[in-house]
Structure 1
Amino acid sequence: MITEFEFDFIFGRPAIFAKLQLVEETIMLIAIVQIPGIERSKEEAITAATGSAPTFSKLPGLLRKYYLNGENGGGGVYIWESREAADAWYNNEWSAKMEKRFGAKPRLTYYDNYVVLDNSSRELRVDGALAELGS
C-alpha cells in the first residue's frame, strides 16, 4: 500500500518520490499521464480534481491517483493493480476524449514496479519481498 507520494520537478523534468508499504509479492503498475498546455491556478486544479474524483474512485483496479498541475501542463500519476486494469481505462476512446477536452493529445507512460527503496524505513523490496539493503 502506498502511504505517501510526492511529485515534483527536478531540472524541469517530472520526478516521483514514493513511500511504499508493500505486501509481499505485490507488483504494481504505475501510469503517468501528461497533458501539455494546461495552465490552471491552484484553485482551478483543485476544483477539476475534486469534480473528477468520484469517477476515479469507482475504477476497478485503480489503487490511487495523484492529480498533477504545473507549468508544463497537467495530468496524473496512477497506481494500478495490473496492466490489464490500466488497459481497460486507457483505450482509444479515452485518448480521443482527453484530446477533445484539453485540446492536446495526452502522453501515457507505463512503468512496472519491481524494486522499491524506502529510505524512511530503510527497506529495500524486490518483487514485494524484503531484500538485503547492504551498506
Structure 2
Amino acid sequence: MITEIVNFDLPESMTREEAVALFEKSVPRWQANAKLVRKYYLYDGEAGIGGGVYLWPSVDDAKAAHDAAWCDMAEKLYGARPRFQYFETPLIVDNTG
C-alpha cells in the first residue's frame, strides 16, 4: 500500500465553508475510482492549506488519478498547483471496528 499526501495553498479569501463545498463536489469522482482504498480531506484555515490523504495499492495508481489534467483542474479551483508526497504504508491500525 501507498499513502499519498496532496496539499495546495488555498486563496486567502476562501472560507472553510467554500473549501468544504468544493471538497464535497469531488466525492463522487473519488467514490468512482476503483483503485482508491480510502481518502481523507484536509483543511488548515490558519495556514491556508487544503488537500487530501489517500491510500492506494501503488504509486502508479496514485499518479494516474492525479495526472496533469487533474493538477490543472485543482489549480483552477484553488489557485495553486498541488504538491505530492508518497510513502510506503507497511502497516495500518484501524480502531473503528
Shared fold (TM-score greater than 0.5)?
Answer: yes
- Tell me which stretches of 4 or more aligned residues in structure 1 moved more than 4 Å: none
Higher relative contact order (CA 8 A, sep 6+): 2
TM-score computed with the length of structure 2 as normaliser:
0.77
TM-score by length of 1: 0.58
RMSD: 2.0
Deviations 1:21-80 (A, max 9, x none): xxxxxxx11111111134544433332222210111001210111111112210111111
Contact 2:9 2:79 in 1 (8 A): no
Task: Tell me if structure 2 keeps the 8 A contact 1:38–1:74.
Answer: no
Q: Which residue of 2 aligns with 1:7?
A: none
Match of 1:99?
75
Show structure 2 runs of 5+ residues with no match. Answer: none
Specify which structure has the higher proportion of helix.
2
Structure number with the higher strand fraction is 1
For 2:19 and 2:79, how far apart are their aligned partners in 1? 17
Runs (5+) with no aligned partner, structure 1: 1-27, 121-135
